[in-house]
Amino acid sequence: MDAPHVSRALVPDPYGSHEPPIYQTSTFTFDSAAQAAALFAGEKPGFVYTRLGNPTVAAWEARLAALEAVHPAPPVPLVPSVPSALAFSSGMGAISATLLALAGQGDHVVATEPLYGGTAELLGDLLPHLGIRVTTVRAGDADGLRRAVSLPRTVALFVETPANPTLDVVDLRLAAALAQEVGARLVVDNTFATPVFQRPLQLGADIVVHSSTKYLGGHGTVIGGAVVTTDTAWLNDRLLTLRKLLGAVPSPFDAWLLYQGSKTLELRVRRASETALRLAQWLAAQPAVSWVRYPGLPDDPGHEVASRQMSGYGAMVAFGIKGGMEAGARFLDALRVAKRAVSLGCTDTLVEHPATMTHAHLPKAEREAAGICDDLIRVSVGLEDLELIQSDFEQALGAARLAAAVDR
């Protein structure tokens, strides 16, 4: 019989280690049969098997909860209770388990779009296959969102803000109010903003999810996911059970890497965000660029809402390159400093073309309906000097223009 949930409290290190030790073990031994029985019965705190709990993972979970609870944010009411966190082996593990813990056959889930490609596939294919109805609404369409959440048996509203890859911004206070009216849970993917710049729990969200692969880890060395909520009963019951049964638990070493990466989170994202703003301003003045999306630009459609609910605008930039998909490929091929790669939140600047990479599995009509056009280039700004990134982009834009002129 599987063991019930036992305490995930961190076991103190007997040697007084400054950092959480890596408990790289699959199982734990017992001093006696009585101790084992007490642990399995939940009568004593401790650990029995790493899929069910591990001291290193527990240390990372405690840090996650603290990140969402205490970082600076705009003046808003305090979280009514201390949040708890559950770590997962990937962001998709966290998102999938969360939605499966909230919705069952016959239930209805609403989501704003665009969304990360994996999330879009989950909502478009897997949940309907399980008998869960899904309605998507374009981010910013308040009337459409209101109609969608009013449909029968709506149990969850899922939001990314800023959205991947268009940087659309969703009004979290409005989303929270709409969800509350119908008794649904508001789930917010806070990966792009990070807890440094946005704390959804303070704005009315019920559940926050992260791909901790990205900014929380910050160095491109580990895959991870996280769920943070003040509903500790739901987290420690339904969600924990799903993680146990689906097996989406992080390894102790991954948890340790994420713990270490999170120590420089604020330093990294603030530096990258400052560079991103200046890069977005520069891109907006380039003749080869048709449009730029960055919430920190005063003329960005999401600027007003972002200014109210975020304390910074993040390090992601999206822009349209004149010449569409072909010009985008030439721009990427000409990069010398920035890396051609998916993912985001690394110390290096990463550039990708969503229509042929992260969102290529979506039909063209669906991509364009979500604002993911063929000319869209997504940039995860890293920690390089602005001048280095800017000069690299300048020569790459020039190469794309020159190649287009030669073709004509």
* Active site residues per annotation: 51, 116, 189, 214
Decide: 165 and 139 in contact? Cβ < 8 Å.
no
**What is the residue-wise DSSP string for 116-160?**
-HHHHHIIIIIHHHTT-EEEEEETT-HHHHHHHHTSTTEEEEEEE
C-alpha 246/C-alpha 408 separation (Å) is 54
Query: The tokens of 174 are what?
Result: 């409005």
What values do phi and psi take at 229, rounded to 5? -155, 155
Q: Alpha carbon of 251 to those of 248, 329, 360: distances in Å?
A: 10, 37, 30
Q: Cα–chain-centroid distance for residue 348?
A: 18
Q: Cα–chain-centroid distance for residue 197?
A: 13
Q: Alpha carbon of 238 to those of 63, 71, 125, 131, 231: distances in Å?
A: 22, 28, 23, 19, 11
Q: What 8-state DSSP symbol labels residue 235?
A: I
What values do phi and psi take at 290, rounded to 5? -90, -25
